[in-house]
Structure 1
Amino acid sequence: MIYHTDYFPSRTVSSNGKTYRYFGGTAYLGLATLPEFRNILINNIQQYGTGYAASRKANVRLTIYEKAETAMADLVGSEAALSVSSGFLAGQLVLRSFPEASCTFFHAPNTHPALTHPRGKQYASYDKLVEDVRNFAARHPDKTPVVLCDSVTPEQNLYEHNWYEELPADRTVFIADDSHGLGIMGAEGAGIHKKLRGIPFRELLVCGSMSKGFGIQAGAVFASDAMIRRLWKHDIFAGASPASPAMLATFEQALHLYDRQRDRLSNNLSAFDKGISYINVFNRIKGHPAYGYNDESLTRYLLDKGFITTSFPYPDAQSPPVQRIVISAYHTGDDIADLCDTLRNY
Structure 2
Amino acid sequence: MLNDFAEQRKQLREQLRARESKDLYRRRLTLESPQQTHVLMAGREYLAFCSNDYLGLANHPQLIEAVCEGARQYGVGAGASHLITGHSSVHHALEEALAHFTGFPRTLLFSTGYMANAGVITALLDRRDTIFADKLNHASLNDAALISRARFVRYSHLDLASLERQLAVCQTRRKLVMTDAVFSMDGDIAPVTQLLALCEKYDAWLMLDDAHGFGVLGSKGRGTVSHFDTSSPRIIYMATLGKAAGVFGAFIAAQPEVIETLIQHARSYVYTTATPPLLSHTLLKSLVLIEEEEWRRERLTQLVACLKREVQSLRWRLLPSITPIQPLIIGENDKALEISEALRAQGILVPAIRPPTVPQGAARLRISLSASHTMDDVAELGSALREMDRSAVAPAY
Identify the residue that residue 274 of structure 1 maps to in structure 2: 306
1:55 and 1:266 map into 2 onto residues whose CA distance is 39
- Counterpart of 2:164 in structure 1 is 130
TM-score normalised by structure 2 residue count: 0.76
TM-fit CA distance, 1:188: 1.0
Q: CA deviation at 1:148?
A: 1.2
Aligned to 1:178: 210
Matched, 1:77 2:103: yes
Deviates more, 1:290-299 or 1:241-250: 290-299
The reply on whether 1:223 has 2:254 as its aligned counterpart is yes
Secondary structure at the residue paired with 2:349? strand
Summarize the Cα distance change of 1:277–1:159 in structure 2 as closer, same or farther, 3 Å threshold: farther
* Gap change, CA 1:155 and 1:269, over 3 Å in 2: closer
Shift of 1:37: 1.6
Q: Which has the higher helix share?
A: 2
Question: After the TM superposition, which residues 105-144 of structure 1 pair with which residues of structure 2 at under 5 Å, given as runs?
Answer: 105-116=131-142, 117-118=145-146, 119=149, 120-125=152-157, 126=159, 127-136=161-170, 140=171, 143-144=173-174
Aligned ranges 1:191-230 → 2 under 5 Å: 191-194=223-226, 198=230, 200=232, 203-230=234-261
Matching residue within 257, 263, 276 for 1:232: 263
* C-alpha distance in 2 between matches for 1:60 and 1:150: 30
Q: Distance in 1 between matches of 2:346 and 2:245?
A: 31
Spell out the pairing of 1:1-346 with structure 2 (5 A cutoff): 2-58=28-84, 61-116=87-142, 117-118=145-146, 119=149, 120-125=152-157, 126=159, 127-136=161-170, 140=171, 143-153=173-183, 154=186, 156-158=188-190, 162-169=194-201, 171-194=203-226, 198=230, 200=232, 203-234=234-265, 236=267, 237-259=269-291, 262-274=294-306, 276-277=308-309, 279-280=311-312, 281-286=317-322, 288-295=323-330, 296=336, 298-313=339-354, 321=363, 323-343=365-385, 345=387, 346=389
Q: What is the deviation of 1:264?
A: 3.0
* Residues matched between the structures, number: 340
Q: Does the 8 A contact of 2:86 with 2:273 survive in 1? A: no
8 Å contact from structure 1 (residues 30, 261) kept in 2: no
Deviation at 1:196, TM superposition (A): 6.7
Change (3 A) 1:165 1:343: farther
Equivalents in 1 of 2:86, 2:343: separation in Å?
53
Q: Mean Cα displacement is larger for which, 19-28 or 127-136?
A: 127-136
**Alpha-carbon distance change, 265 to 208 in structure 1, aligned in 2, over 3 angstroms:** closer
Residues 260-286 of structure 1 show CA distances to partners (whole Å, capped at 9, x for unaligned) of: 655235225414513533744212432
Task: Give the superposition deviation at 1:326.
Answer: 1.2
Distance across 2 between alignment mates of 1:256 and 1:99 = 35
Q: Provide Cα deviations, 1:267-317, integer angstroms capped at 9, x if missing partner.
A: 25414513533744212432x111111122653553343211122436669
Alpha-carbon separation, structure 2, partners of 1:67 and 1:192: 23
Whose Rg is larger?
2
Contact 1:20 1:306 in 2 (8 A): yes
1:225-257: per-residue Cα shift (whole Å, max 9, x none)?
121111112252222222221111111133332
Q: Counterpart of 1:95 in structure 2: which amino acid?
A: I
Name the aligned partner's letter for residue 376 of structure 2.
D
1-side partners of 2:47 and 2:106: how far apart?
40
- Deviation of the 1:198 alpha carbon: 3.5
Per-residue deviation at 1:93? 0.7
The structure-2 alpha-carbon separation of the partners of 1:262 and 1:290, relative to structure 1 and needing over 3 Å to count, comes to farther
Describe the SS at the equivalent of 1:254.
Answer: helix
Structure 1 residues 315 and 234, CA gap change in structure 2 (3 angstroms): farther
Residue type of the partner of 1:293? L
Secondary structure of 1:58 counterpart: helix
